[in-house]
Amino acid sequence: MDFTLKIWRQENAKAKGRFETYKISNISSDCSFLEMLDQLNETLVDKIEIPICFDHDCREGICGMCSLYINGRPHGPDDDITTCQLHMRKFKDGDTITIEPWRAKAFPVIKDLMVDRNALDKIIQAGGYVSISTGGVPDANSIPVSKKNSDLAMDAAQCIGCGACVATCKNASAMLFVAAKVSHLALLPQGKVEAKERVLRMVRKMDELGFGNCTNTGACEAECPKSITLTNIARLNREFIFAGILSEDKY
């Protein structure tokens, strides 16, 4: 398979970026998208040209590092996958593929297709954890949790923090990410002790970092590789309102 690639190149956050066009040939339909970029970089190195910088790690859809905007969609033209799980058979021979980085104020470009997503880590550091002492590791069945809540908590905990929700949102909102992190702790007994402080601090930090507001367009849910649902945002809003009423740490 042969492709024309229009790839965003940018030296750093302050430099002016531009699209550059590359031709690549003889790509297997079973090749992954990142393997295709690896092959392109090999040809650039052979020509003594600067290879394209992009982020990746596990290549198994677990870590969320492979944050690429492909033909106008986060992670490309498939559902419920990350970029590293995307294969070239999803494209047609001769296609032109446009590849961009995540575009959000809170995600400055490091170089080319790599962005700084530390803002998501800062939101977690603001309260996305359980800090109280729970003693030794209890037996799995010693803390009663309803199956409904345990299932909902596990669904929310699947969020890998890739930032696709931010990239696809017209407001660059991180609400789905924050909602997933708040939900999976708020639904479990271990997380309830710090629930009020957690939601206030995480939402405050999200706003401080420059993420936009949620207007419920549903784009985040549609593009999330782990199918995190908008019901988590509804739960976040309830937790936030309840915490604002009862907590002395007013937002």
Q: List, for residues 94-110, the tens digit of each pLDDT value.
A: 999 999 999 999 999 99
Which CATH superfamily includes the segment(s) 117-246? Alpha-helical ferredoxin (1.10.1060.10)
The pairing of beta strand 96-100 with beta strand 69-70? antiparallel
Secondary structure of residue 122 in the 3-state scheme: helix
Q: Which fold has domain 3-110?
A: Ubiquitin-like (UB roll) (3.10.20)
Distance between CA atoms of 107 and 128, rounded to whole angstroms?
Answer: 20
**pLDDT tops 60 at residue 251:** no
Least confident of 45-54, 126-135, 219-228: 126-135
Give burial (CB, 10 Å; 0-12/13-18/19+) of 22: middle
Percent residues over pLDDT 90 in the chain: 84
pLDDT-derived band at 135, boundaries 50, 70, 90 = low
Quick check: 136 pLDDT over 80? Answer: no
pLDDT of res. 131? 84
Q: Are the CB atoms for 230 and 176 separated by under 8 Å? A: yes
pTM comes to: 0.91
Cβ–Cβ under 8 Å, residues 229 and 178: no
Please, which residues have CB within 8 angstroms of residue 15's CB and are 6 or more apart in sequence? none
CATH 1.10.1060.10 residue ranges in the chain?
Answer: 117-246
CATH 3.10.20.30 domain position(s) in the chain: 3-110
The tokens for 136 are 């030794």
Over residues 7-54, the pLDDT tens digits come to 999 999 899 999 999 999 999 999 999 999 999 999 999 999 999 999
Is the pLDDT at 239 greater than 60? The verdict is: yes
